Chain A
């Protein structure tokens, strides 16, 4: 099995407030979605309580929030990611 092309890899950043209920839920929901898909993900989790400047620099105003960085088009999903269909659509993955 060769390594998938980098362009196939989905790069995500999840902004959370570590330990807060919706953030915990968002991480769990995203993990479940990623597990169930064959695609490869590169996920970075940013705790805005520790790194508010990083989040602000990325244009994030509320958490939890997921940003899809690549491949284009970029997208963002705000909230605890419990709406799986909406997350998949934003990630550009047809069910």
Chain B
């Protein structure tokens, strides 16, 4: 990125100001967009009134301020894998508007989503319980921003910051309860009701009625074959609850979809706060 900037800003004053650290953003004629430089991005993401992540936002101001230098803003893109099972957890991730799906991977490549992490939580709970390796695959399901912190710094902060510890434990417990509910749900409830639940939870997290999810992704989320997803999505579409076209999902009737979902939606939603 910096090389690209240097090439564009080849003339004197631009380069001089860049070197002096006086530049916030660079315009790229090729993409016709403005790119924030890392420092400016960091300041914009972190310096705002409140952090995007609600777990961080719940911390006392002085604790958050102390942690700021350790928090590195990152952009996460759809499909990106942060951790595979048994990978060493190098960072914890606090999503802003990004969403990360945690999947248990079985042999033969089968995977099933066991949790979805958005701005209400973090990826890296095991570190809070002295476990250093990821038990799951953590895959970005919704592109967006997050901040991450090195595992070592996170543990130091946990040890000295009771509010952080409280938040992390509260969140970990909610996740445990959700996993319990989901395990039962996956076993007993029909695919269509589960798909409805899952779409509603995604909607609540992204706070939008429209999002992108491929068949394959949904199949992993629900632990069914792709044909099963097609069938369930078609059924919801026939009932005019959603529109689904090439992975673009639009929720047309939220209340109808809630009625079509199993009761687990409400249970999990309340746990997610």
Task: State the A residues within 8 Å of B (CB).
Answer: 16-17, 19-23, 48-49, 52-53, 55-56, 60-64, 76-80, 82
Contacts and interface: CB of A to CB of B under 8 A. Distances in A.
B14 A21 contact: no
B18 A56 contact: no
A56 B27 contact: yes
Interface in B193-219: none
A21 B45 CA distance: 12
Given A53-B32, A56-B27, A62-B9, A20 B22 contact: no
Interface residues of B, number: 27
B40 interface: yes
Given A49-B34, A80-B22, A61 B40 contact: no
Given A17-B36, A63-B25, A63-B27, 7 more contacts: A20-B40, A21-B40, A53-B32, A62-B17, A78-B14, A78-B23, A80-B17
Contact of A61 (B20, B27, B32, B44): B27
Given A61-B9, A63-B34, A78-B17, A20 B24 contact: yes
28 contacts: A17-B24, A17-B40, A20-B24, A20-B43, A21-B39, A22-B21, A22-B23, A48-B25, A48-B34, A49-B34, A49-B36, A52-B32, A52-B33, A55-B34, A56-B27, A60-B27, A62-B27, A63-B24, A63-B34, A64-B23, A64-B24, A78-B16, A79-B16, A79-B20, A79-B22, A79-B23, A80-B17, A80-B22
B20 A17 contact: no
A61 B13 CA distance: 11
Contacts, number: 87
Q: Which of B22, B24, B36 has the most CB of A within 10 A?
A: B24
Interface of B: 5, 8-9, 13-14, 16-18, 20-27, 29, 32-34, 36, 39-40, 43-44, 47-48
A64 B20 CA distance: 13
B6 to A, nearest CB: 11
Nearest to A48: B34
Contacts of A19: 43-44, 47-48
Given A21-B39, A52-B33, A55-B34, A62 B44 contact: no
A56 B13 contact: no
Given A17-B36, A20-B36, A56-B32, A63 B23 contact: yes
Contacts of B29: 56
B25 A17 contact: yes
Nearest to A50: B34
A68 to B, nearest CB: 13
B138 to A, nearest CB: 30
Closest 10 pairs (CB-CB, A-B): A20-B24, A79-B22, A79-B17, A17-B25, A20-B40, A17-B24, A78-B13, A78-B17, A48-B34, A80-B22
